[in-house]
Amino acid sequence: MLNLHTRRAAAVVALTLGAAAGGVFIAQAPAMAAGQTRYVATTGDDADNDCTDAADPCLHIQYAVDQADPGDTVSIAAGKYDESVEIRQSLTLIGAGATGSGRTTIDGDGEDGPSIWVDGFDTDTPPQVTVKDIDVTGNSDDDGILVTGDPGAGDPVGITIVDCVVDGNDDNGIELDGSVTGSVNDTTISGNDDEGLTTDEINDDPPVITMSGDVVSSNGDGGVVNESGSIAIDSTTIDDNTGAGVVVDGGGNTVNLRTTTVSGTVSFTESEGPAFGGGVLVFPGGVSDIQSSTIFGNTGQGVLSIGGDVSVKNTTISGTIASTSPDPEISDGGVVTNAELPAVAKTGMAQFAHHDRQANKRHLAAPKASAIETSSATLTATITADNTTLPDCAGDVVDGGYNLDSDDSCGFNAKGSVNNGTAKLGPLANNGGPTKTLLPAKGSDAIDAIPAANASCTTPANDQRGESRPQGPACDIGAVEAAQPPIVITPKSLPSGKVGNHYSVSLTATGGLGAPYEWSLSSSSGPLPPGLHLSSHGVISGTPTTAGSYPIIASVDDPTLKHYTIVITAARRPSSGPSGSSSPPQGTTLPNTGADVGLLVTFGGLAVAIGIVLMGATGLLGRRRAYRRLH
């Protein structure tokens, strides 16, 4: 029997020779009916065992796969399996988990080939395989997962990878060759020596792959490298990869990014070739559509089009870092287009394609420098700003409207676009949603810059985080809508004041774009009471001089309004008594001198009573004396 390396080489030859007979097949084959479950454990035994008894599992995954019928499930208990597993029929391979102490690990060590190989050559029906909850880690000689499909077989091989970790493999994390269709979901692809995920350019029946909810990080020769076919990437983090986050290598190959963050790419080092790399690299003939995504902190270029067709919509590109050894033939910057394919780029393309001998030879054999027909990058509703010391744009870009740059290097001239604007972006952070983003802060020229009825506001309906657009009266430029909950102004009403007495009250607000809030009187407001003024911080203060009722309209972060009425009462003044004497006004209170008022009242009452008694006694005595004189 041929070993796996020999059979794999034969498969590559067959792919190449059979390319002309194949076509592109996107739809997967119909799902298989549910079959039996075969059990594997590190404590199992293969002898005379069909692996169908959970209490009596088999020892090796390959043995259970060979026992299985199409449509069966191979359930693999926790533990480490030093195997290279080849699958040639439709199966589900499911582990106990891809992380933690109870994970299922397949490392391929000690064997001859990838840790998992889905081989669609010389099979009655192209296999449809699901790999779930497995840690595919530590293959020291080959890929983590390899899927090969025969373009002459009619239907493509189908592969679904879910909730897996593909980490630390000597070659690629996941390699997809030939007629393959499928998906990679909620999977971490990291620390592989070569590409994280790659499609191989060796036939004309290319892979058609979707990625969603994945993390692709710290891989040695690029995160996602598309040498052939179509890849759609959604809600994925592509971070800290060497050479590139995403590569689209010519020939009509396509990578579409949606709600994805590409960040922290570092250039190839001098030992690996010229210092070359960037966030998203699109080479001659390649196509990339980037929408509602964040491209941040990549070395070299945020987005580079060399003879590619690139469309960037509702996206934020920022923080691009200068190359350590920049090449004069290709500029660094946020968005870069190049009219030539310089030698440094060709060497970089060959580096990405080194696993594919034909593609590698083609890139290396290209002339040292060659002109290209077109190099297109169209920006719409996109921020390219604050790219450290680098220009926001280098080369020709097409302005699709409602864009913003921070240095006037893009030369935007379409409706709604802002040159030399203020982006005021926050740090790359978890602002909600599946990926990290850059949130525009209050005062950014990007906020509410796209009219609500404009197509760039109505489509897409959500931002990168999944939040609805718009959040305010209009849409924001870039990948993220700044949250704008309704502004609530307090207090509910304002206290009354009095002429001559100091008056002070603070207006406060919550919601909107947050503090600091800017306060003023609305243009339709009446005046404040004479003597009072409203500060921009929301404080009404002063000493009122005129009584009256004053309706006003306070405005915060225009156009949020609040109607108030301030009542100012007149001061009380002393009134004049008879003959010009001064007496306290009616209704006023005499000043408190500190005397015991109750005791004074008591003595006063006694004095009055004694006086009356004395007056009465005096009158009686007088009458008696008069009576005596008369008699």
The residue-averaged pLDDT of 247-265 equals: 93
Confidence of residue 20 (pLDDT cuts 50, 70, 90): very low
Question: Strand runs (DSSP E) across 55-121, as ranges?
Answer: 73-76, 79-81, 85-87, 91-94, 104-106, 116-119
What H or E segment, with its residue span, contains residue 610?
helix 597-630
The residue-averaged pLDDT of 586-608 equals: 44
For residue 158, the Cα-to-chain-centroid distance in whole angstroms is 31
Asked if residues 410 and 394 have their Cβ atoms less than 8 Å apart, the reply is no
User: Above 50 in pLDDT, residue 152?
Assistant: yes
Contacts of 350 (CB under 8 A, 6+ apart): 359, 360, 363, 364
| 507 token code pair | 């207006």
Confidence of residue 520 (pLDDT cuts 50, 70, 90): very high
pTM of the model: 0.82
pLDDT tens digit string along 535-591? 999 999 999 999 999 999 999 986 789 999 999 999 877 665 554 444 454 444 444
Question: Strand runs (DSSP E) across 150-260, as ranges?
Answer: 157-162, 165-167, 174-178, 180-185, 188-190, 197-200, 208-212, 215-217, 224-226, 230-234, 237-239, 244-248, 254-258
Lowest pLDDT segment from 66-80, 189-203, 578-592? 578-592
State residue 176's pLDDT score: 95
Cα–Cα distance for residue pair 516/513, rounded to 1 Å: 9
pLDDT tens digit string along 313-324? 999 999 999 988
State residue 578's pLDDT score: 53
User: Above 60 in pLDDT, residue 17?
Assistant: no
Contacts of 135 (CB under 8 A, 6+ apart): 95, 97, 98, 99, 103, 104, 105, 106, 164, 165, 167
Mean pLDDT estimate for the chain: 85
User: Above 90 in pLDDT, residue 25?
Assistant: no
Q: Which of 379, 287, 292 is nearest to 333 (CA)?
A: 379
State residue 373's pLDDT score: 62
State residue 360's pLDDT score: 46
Q: Greater confidence, 446 or 23?
A: 446
State residue 8's pLDDT score: 53
Tokens 């919550």 identify what position? 510
pLDDT tens digit string along 369-388? 455 667 789 999 999 999 99
| 100 token code pair | 């933690």
Lowest pLDDT segment from 73-77, 225-229, 262-266, 564-568? 225-229
Q: Greater confidence, 136 or 610?
A: 136
User: Above 80 in pLDDT, residue 363?
Assistant: no
Angle at 255 (CA atoms; ends 202, 25), nearest 5 degrees:
55
State residue 574's pLDDT score: 63
Q: Which of 218, 228, 213, 102 is nearest to 169 (CA)?
A: 218
Tokens 């880690």 identify what position? 137
What H or E segment, with its residue span, contains residue 388?
none
State residue 326's pLDDT score: 75
Q: Which of 517, 434, 435, 449 is nearest to 482 (CA)?
A: 449
**What percent of the chain lies above the pLDDT cut of 90?**
69
